[in-house]
Amino acid sequence: MSGLLRICTAGSVDDGKSTLIGRLLYDSRAVYEDQVTSVEKASRNRTAGPIDFSLFTDGLKAEREQGITIDVAYRYFATSARTFILADTPGHEQYTRNMATGASTADVAVLLVDARHGVRVQSRRHARIARLLGIRHFVVAVNKMDLVDFDRGVFETISDDFTELLHGTTIHPIPLSALHGDNVITRSERTPWFDERCLLQFLETVDVDRAPADKPFRFPVQLVIRPNDGFRGYAGQIVSGTVRPGDVVTAWPSGRSAHVTRLVTWDGDLDVAHAPMSMTLTLDADVDISRGDVLAAGPAHIGRRFAAEVVWMDERPLDPSRVYLLKFGARTVTAEVDRGLFLNQIAAVTVTTAQPVVFDRYADNRSTGSFILIDPATNFTAGAGMIADPLGEAPVHVEYPSAAERLARLARAAPSDGDAVEAVRRALEEILI
């Protein structure tokens, strides 16, 4: 297994998440000396003790001024056992989208909870998002244990609550104090009743079963490389599986098959390539393949309709009468969603794309089962989706009003004639893009 572990952290405001990360970086010596100096200097201008660990992670001025984390921050540290990429995500509800962002690439989630408060609304929400985004390993970090006198009963009640909340996943609860360092890097003497691994030990040793190389071969084509008439190669990153020269692969959505002839890299041709390698492959047949097509071995789903869980991340609500851009692998298509959603809302929806796409269930493949929705008017990444199931084609009259009907609805819904003209103008532009 890879020496790289991706972690995301989550918790409510004031659970001490940034403090825990700062402590982890500081104690594992991943914070540089001049950063310590500048943080000590900045700490003096505020009221928190000698070193305010949260200042190592709160990178923006507004965050330091307000004492909260607004945006996801990525931190890097390594021990002799492993290299870590840590996404520190904000606890405020309005920044839930950043939680989803951090969780999308993580193998392990560290859920912070204040020992005095136990499971709160935000904890449930974060646990749900992390789980939805495919995380299967959780650390329940019961923080501020010093404020409940390291009471075993408190810890066990909270652990049980999370076990119920996260059933079906692997859970490792740890009683700790981020501020004082208990059970962060080393086991604390103040919790003699706790004989499990402390936080860093757990992260160093947890066995995450990613194994994308064992799954069916999937290769979204990013670019066609044609430096001269004699060479036509398909460049991309293998998102799952393994490929060798001689293998038969099928190009979707055309459905035509060919043999792989070469696996080309700058360092020389390869005999075998596997996820997550980037390379360029060539085929023995002149199949018409362009950016966005997927080369695959093994069965995949192909279609224009699927059920998905969508996290909405835009202040502008999801409007089922509008058309969105759906980016999926290296392909962008237009798509419609059957129901509205507000910022931070998560729900099961039905997505219909204008052109057929090839996909897997998210539970089977995090790369070919995920997509983003882009608002064509603002270009904002407005939604993130995880495919649950393929669906058959729907009768047209039920799901989709005609373009003319949609324009008429927009005009009727506008508060004034000027707004109506503007809304129709924008909608037409979106249709014509």
Q: How far is the CB of 3 from another protein (least distance, A)?
A: 5
Contact flag: residue 254 with another protein (CB under 8 A):
no
Q: How far is the CB of 35 from another protein (least distance, A)?
A: 6
Dihedral through CA 131, CA 133, CA 136, CA 139, nearest 10?
A: -70
Q: How far is the CB of 405 from another protein (least distance, A)?
A: 27
Residues 6+ positions from 247 with CB-CB distance below 8 Å? 217, 259, 260, 297
Contact flag: residue 376 with another protein (CB under 8 A):
yes
- Among 13, 28, 35, 394, interactor with another protein by CB under 8 A: 35
Q: Are 172 and 140 in contact (CB under 8 A)?
A: yes
Contact flag: residue 225 with another protein (CB under 8 A):
yes
- Among 12, 18, 57, 250, interactor with another protein by CB under 8 A: 57
From residue 169, give the alpha-carbon distance in Å to each of 4, 130, 131, 162: 21, 11, 8, 11
Q: How far is the CB of 133 from another protein (least distance, A)?
A: 8
Closest CA to 297 of 215, 212, 214, 216: 216
Q: Which window, 63-71, 158-166, 172-180, 296-304, contacts another protein (CB under 8 A)?
A: 63-71
Peptide bond into 276 cis (omega under 30): yes
Contact flag: residue 354 with another protein (CB under 8 A):
no
- Among 330, 335, 351, 358, interactor with another protein by CB under 8 A: 330
Q: How far is the CB of 344 from another protein (least distance, A)?
A: 12
Contact flag: residue 248 with another protein (CB under 8 A):
no
Q: How far is the CB of 163 from another protein (least distance, A)?
A: 28
Contact flag: residue 342 with another protein (CB under 8 A):
no
Contacts with another protein in 86-145 (CB under 8 A)?
97-98, 100-101, 104-105
- Among 168, 195, 266, 271, interactor with another protein by CB under 8 A: 266
Q: Which is nearer to another protein, 147 or 343 (CB)?
A: 343
Q: Report the SS3 class of residue 114.
A: strand
Contact flag: residue 371 with another protein (CB under 8 A):
yes
Residues 79, 36: Cα–Cα separation, whole Å: 19
Q: How far is the CB of 175 from another protein (least distance, A)?
A: 29
Length of the chain (residues): 433
Contact flag: residue 28 with another protein (CB under 8 A):
no
Q: Which window, 32-40, 155-163, 244-252, 301-309, contacts another protein (CB under 8 A)?
A: 32-40
Closest CA to 125 of 101, 169, 92: 92
Q: Are 232 and 340 in contact (CB under 8 A)?
A: no
What is the chain's alpha carbon radius of gyration, rounded to the nearest angstrom? 25
Q: Which is nearer to another protein, 115 or 310 (CB)?
A: 310
From residue 78, give the alpha-carbon distance in Å to each of 6, 25, 179: 12, 9, 21
Q: Report the SS3 class of residue 119.
A: coil
Q: Which window, 10-18, 52-60, 121-129, 146-154, contacts another protein (CB under 8 A)?
A: 52-60
Closest CA to 306 of 227, 368, 231, 251: 368
Contact flag: residue 418 with another protein (CB under 8 A):
no
- Among 11, 328, 387, 406, interactor with another protein by CB under 8 A: 328
Q: How far is the CB of 346 from another protein (least distance, A)?
A: 13
Residues 419, 427: Cα–Cα separation, whole Å: 12
Residues 290, 169: Cα–Cα separation, whole Å: 39
Residues 6+ positions from 41 with CB-CB distance below 8 Å? none
10 Å CB burial of residue 93 (0-12, 13-18, 19+) is: middle
- Among 28, 43, 157, 237, interactor with another protein by CB under 8 A: 237
Contact flag: residue 261 with another protein (CB under 8 A):
no
- Among 51, 64, 319, 399, interactor with another protein by CB under 8 A: 64
Beta bridge partners, 352, equal: 305, 336
Q: How far is the CB of 181 from another protein (least distance, A)?
A: 19
Q: Are 50 and 131 in contact (CB under 8 A)?
A: no
Contacts with another protein in 134-173 (CB under 8 A)?
none
Contact flag: residue 85 with another protein (CB under 8 A):
yes
Q: Report the SS3 class of residue 346.
A: strand
Contact flag: residue 34 with another protein (CB under 8 A):
yes
